[in-house]
Amino acid sequence: MTATDKMFAGSIPELYQRFLVPLIFESCARDLAERIAGINPGDVLETAAGTGVLTRAIASRLAAHAHIVATDLNQPMLDRAMALSDDDRIEWRQADALALPFEEQSFDVVACQFGAMFFPDKVHGYKEASRVLKAGGRFVFNVWDRISENEFADVVTQALATLFPDDPPRFMARTPHGYHDAARIRDDLTAAGFTGISVDAVEARSRAASPRDVAIAYCQGTPLRTEIEARDPSGLERATQHATEALARRFGDGAVDGRIRALAITATR
């Protein structure tokens, strides 16, 4: 992972929420929120909350007395999240998942949607989740499966490799889709002290109104944008169009539909 992989700022939060959230995050948020609701927690901590798609899904399923603390490393993402919710059960705080500013045994559940892949030290991040969980508390999170199982991300990545053959932008394969080995995930959680670990594959369909919407989502609404602009400071639109054309060749010019696959993990403190 590079230093820019964790930078979600500038216009990225708005484009992320507008294009990427409905494309790939909403269905997975519903799945994770249902798993959390089944635990019936009173106090929930969410790390790497982004623009709050999982936060809102959790809040819609929990009791009126529940309290959710939603955190993210990037304040601009939280700013966008706060603008989308007025639920007074949610407390928004900027925080690093590897250095949580909370007391030990404070939460019934720690939730994280597609954030663990960004932890520079996975075991340490998991130890922090364990530290703030009450005895018997659950760590519920998901990660993306390998990029070949996620068709839109794969096509965009391959398209950009042909545009920049000497130095292909590899953000999607390297980080969002770079932590998909279930055995490694189990080992990392065990090293952090978790037990009762379950890993479930979650398959869904990703849909958008056009190939252009998908290309904008990935090329402009993620840190992939930073990689593109590092290679060609004026080439973002050219890269987006190149990805659009590749997606259209694969999925057609109209509404598009592709496979996505994630892993949902639950572990007990």
Q: Tens digits of per-residue pLDDT, 222-261?
A: 999 999 999 999 999 999 999 999 999 999 999 999 999 9
Distances (CA, A) of 53 to 84, 140, 147, 204, 224: 9, 15, 22, 17, 21
Q: Which pLDDT score, from 0 to 100, does residue 10 have?
A: 78
Q: Which pLDDT score, from 0 to 100, does residue 191 have?
A: 98
Region of 60 (left: φ > 0; alpha: ψ -120 to 50; beta: rest) is alpha
Tokens standing for residue 19: 């294009």
CB-count exposure of residue 205 (10 Å: 0-12, 13-18, 19+)? exposed
For helices 151-163 and 211-220, angle between their N-to-C axes, nearest 10 degrees: 70
Q: Tens digits of per-residue pLDDT, 145-189?
A: 999 999 999 999 999 999 999 999 999 999 999 999 999 999 999
Phi, psi of 141 (to 5 degrees): -150, 170
Q: Which pLDDT score, from 0 to 100, does residue 7 have?
A: 58
Rounded to an integer, what distance in angstroms lies between the CA atom of residue 1 and that of residue 10? Answer: 20
Enumerate residues 6+ apart whose C-beta is below 8 A from 237: none
Tokens standing for residue 188: 């990392």
Q: Tens digits of per-residue pLDDT, 123-145?
A: 999 999 999 999 999 999 999 99
Buried b (16+ CB within 10 A) or exposed e, 6-20: bebeeebbebbbbbb
Rounded to an integer, what distance in angstroms lies between the CA atom of residue 198 and that of residue 188? Answer: 13
Options 3.40.50.150, 3.40.50.720, 3.30.1360.10, 3.30.360.10; CATH for 3-268 is: 3.40.50.150
Residue whose C-alpha is closest to residue 231's, from 184, 163, 136: 163
Q: Tens digits of per-residue pLDDT, 150-159?
A: 999 999 999 9
Residue 9 pLDDT grade (very low, low, confident, very high; cuts 50, 70, 90): low
Q: Which pLDDT score, from 0 to 100, does residue 4 have?
A: 60
